[in-house]
Amino acid sequence: MKMKIKYLATVQMGYSFRSRLEASKDGGVAVIQMKDLLYDNTVGCDELVRINMETVKEHHLVQRGDLVFRSRGHVTTTAVLLEDPGKVVVAAPLFRIRVTKPSRVLPEYLNWYISQRDAQIFFTSRAKGTVQKMISKQAIEDLEVTLPSLEKQKNIVELATLSAREQTLLHALADKREQYISTVLMQFAKGK
C-alpha cells in the first residue's frame, strides 16, 4: 500500500527568525539548525544554540519522533529526533514533519524511506531553483510512501541501522589498516 505524506503527517516550515540568532547560555529555547542534522540522519541535541525567545507557540516546538527535513541544497533527507529535546524549535528553511498516523507509519521508517532512491528521485524532479535547489512543502506532502506492516517497518529500520553501523566500522577498520601499513612501510624504508 502507498500513501502520500500529507495523509500520514503534518509538514510545517521551521520558525523564521527576523535576525541573526543571538546565543544565550541562559536561553529558554534551543534551536535546531542545519548543522545539528547528523550524517546518520538523526538530530544531534548536544550542541543546540540556546536563545532568549519571549513567546513561542506550542505548535512551533518539536518533540521526540519528529523529523527535520533539509529543504535546500543537494541533500534532501530528514533527521529524526530520537530523544525528547525539551523546549526546541526548528529554524527555517528546515521543515518539521510530525507523524499523525502512528498506526500506519513509524517515524523512524519514514525517516529511512525519505533517504531511499525512489524518494530522492521524486524530490529531484520537484526541486525548484537554479543555483540553490529547494524542495517545497507541497512536494514533501505529495511524496508517496510504501507502507508495509508496522512489524516490517520496525525490521527494516533495525536492519538499516545495523547496516549503517557496519559501514562505519568498515571505514574505521580500513583507516586503521592504512595507518598500520604506512607505518610498517616507513620502518622498512628506513631499514628497520
DSSP single-letter state for residue 42? B
> Which of helix, strand or coil describes residue 37?
strand
My answer on whether 76 and 163 are in the same domain is no
Give the start-end residues of each E strand in the chain.
Answer: 2-4, 9-13, 29-32, 49-51, 67-69, 78-80, 88-90, 95-99, 144-146
- Of the three residues 147, 166, 183, the one that is the final residue of a domain is 147
Looking at the structure, do residues 94 and 182 belong to the same domain, yes or no?
no
pLDDT tens per residue across all 192 residues of the chain: 999 999 999 999 998 887 777 778 778 888 999 899 988 888 988 888 888 877 777 888 999 999 999 888 777 889 999 888 888 999 988 999 999 999 999 999 999 999 999 999 999 898 887 777 889 999 999 999 999 999 999 999 999 989 888 988 999 999 999 999 999 999 999 987
Of the candidates 158, 116, 160, 142, the one whose C-alpha atom is nearest the C-alpha of residue 9 is 142
If asked whether residues 123 and 32 sit together in one domain, one would say: yes
- Kindly state whether residues 16 and 85 are assigned to the same domain: yes
Domain span including residue 113:
2-147
Same domain, 139 and 152: no
Whether 142 and 153 share a structural domain: no
> Are 110 and 76 members of one domain?
yes
